[in-house]
Amino acid sequence: MKVLAIETSCDDTSVAVVDDSGRVHAVLSRNQDSSHQPFGGIVPEIACRNHTQFLLPLIDDVLRCSNTIWDGIDGICVTSRPGLIGSLLVGVVTAKSLALALGKPLIGVNHLEGHLLAPYLMDAKYTPRYQRQYPSLGLVISGGHTSLYRLVSPGKYLLLGETVDDAAGEAFDKLAKMLGLGFPGGAVVDFHAQSGSAQAFEFPRPMMRSESLNFSFSGLKTAAYRMIHSLSIEEIKAKMNDLCASYQEAIVDVLLAKLALALKRVEARQVIVTGGVSANSRLRQRATEWADENKIDLLIPPLRFCTDNAAMIGLAGIERLMRNESDTMQLGPHPQSIIGDFQ
Ligand code: KG4
Ligand code: ZN
């Protein structure tokens, strides 16, 4: 079985052909960073306009790259929630039109489920280190989410904790903006941090010692704002790497502390760290060390499957299809994940 998958929930236009073993036959994405950079953040109106222009040519290309004809496609999967409503709308309406015209099943996918399954994708260069086991623990860290889930069984997820304010990716992006490093900023902060000292500046670790599994990053952002404004431009330039490393360390400390706390509370046979922020080199290193010390099977997707991509939507979608869970033509975009648990 093979599906065509579409991801347009935010500012990446991505399409993929994926089979029921999780093998990615092709995935093609176009980012829109240059369109949003001048505004220092994503402009929803521009994002959906770009999706409209990019999507159909990308679908043609992905079919060609994967040597697939429409007869070889068993379903059309699309991210239907959560995300920017105009962006989701472009993907959902395109997927519905294709499903209707071609007489194929339509499968709406929760973007967060896509991230949680991303480490189980496969391609020529990547095979998951461990076979999938339930129950497991999944931390989704992206520009819009910082959410901790218990994966109970295929398709059944229990929300254990989430951010009460900013997402971890947003915290990275805000620091980059304050330091004039452009947008999106996570990868640039990561790059500077590699040559800096994590002990140079003292940043708060919000909610790290609380018993709650929720996260908070807005206090950290405010502390960075105060710190940066107490320094001269020359000092900021000279201490750029240290600022990035110290700030990044605070985020990584909080993420790993909550993961460890969750693992004490619920049984998990493996742990997943996923989403755009899981591309962070320091987080990957520290999470791997933590997992080794605690003898936990840890899965982090390769970099290309950390950030938004349609391959992960294809895997989540084809698994829904195999469980006979397709959608009707009433499928609509929704800005939020279903609050609490999602199935
Ligand atoms: O999952 P994603 O592509 O999109 C959302 O669903 O939000 O995540 C994007 C986020 C951005 O905030 C970006 O700055 C962050 O992931 N990011 C990183 C790194 N690469 C991307 N954050 C820290 N370190 C990185 N290397
Ligand atoms: Zn995402």
DSSP assignment letter at 95: H
CB 328 within 8 A of CB 82: no
Per-residue pLDDT at 340 exceeds 80: no
Half-sphere exposure at residue 167, Cβ-oriented, CA atoms within 13 angstroms: 18
Residue 343 clears pLDDT 60, i.e. is over it: no
Which residue is closest in CA terms to ligand 1's atom 7? 143
Q: What is the mean pLDDT of residues 236-253?
A: 98
Give yes or no for residue 341 having a pLDDT over 60: no
Please tell me the residue having the least CA distance from ligand 1 atom 24.
280
Tell me, rounded to whole angstroms, the distance of Cα 111 from its chain centroid. Answer: 8
By percentage, how much of the chain surpasses pLDDT 90?
Answer: 92
**Can you tell me the mean pLDDT for 230-239?**
96
List, for residues 72-122, the tens digit of each pLDDT value. Answer: 999 999 999 999 999 999 999 999 999 999 999 999 999 999 999 999 999
- Confidence band, pLDDT 50/70/90 cuts, at residue 339: very low
182 versus 54: the higher-pLDDT residue is 54
Report the C-alpha gap between 297 and 287 in whole angstroms: 11
CA 174 to ligand 1 center in whole angstroms: 12
As given in the structure block, the two tokens for residue 10 are 């935010």
**Which residues are within 5 Å of ligand 2 (an ion), measured at CB?**
142, 308
Predicted pLDDT of residue 184: 87
Q: What is the pLDDT of residues 163-189, one digit of tens each?
A: 999 999 999 999 999 999 988 899 999
Q: Ligand 1 pocket test: which of 188, 307, 337 has the largest number of ligand atoms within 8 Å of its C-beta?
A: 307
Residue of 114, 123, 92, 150 whose CA lies nearest to 23 = 123
Coil vs helix vs strand at 105: coil
In angstroms, the CA 103 to CA 75 distance is: 9
Which amino acid, residue 36? H
Q: Greater confidence, 340 or 283?
A: 283
Q: What is the mean pLDDT of residues 11-40?
A: 94
Measured by CA distance, the residue closest to atom 16 of ligand 1 is 276
Q: Would the pTM count as exceeding 0.85?
A: yes
pLDDT at site 96: 98
CA atoms within 13 A on the CB side of 102: 19
* Amino acid letter, residue 239: K
- Summarize the confidence of residues 268-289 as an average pLDDT: 98
pLDDT at position 141 = 98
- 75 ligand 1 Cβ < 6 A: no
pLDDT digits (tens, 9 = 90+) for 204-231: 999 998 999 999 999 999 999 999 999 9
E strand or H helix at 246: helix 233-265
For ligand 1, atom 8, the nearest C-alpha belongs to: 276
Q: Which ligand is nearest to the CA of 305?
A: 1
Determine the pLDDT at residue 33: 87
Where would I find the H helices in 43-145? Answer: 44-65, 85-102, 111-117
Which of the ligands is closest to the CA of residue 193?
1
Q: What value does the mean pLDDT of the chain take?
A: 96
- Exposure string (b/e) for 1-11, b if CB count within 10 Å is 16 or more? ebbbbbbbbbb
pLDDT exceeds 70 at position 156? yes
Per-residue model confidence (pLDDT) at position 338: 67
Is the pLDDT at 30 greater than 60? The verdict is yes
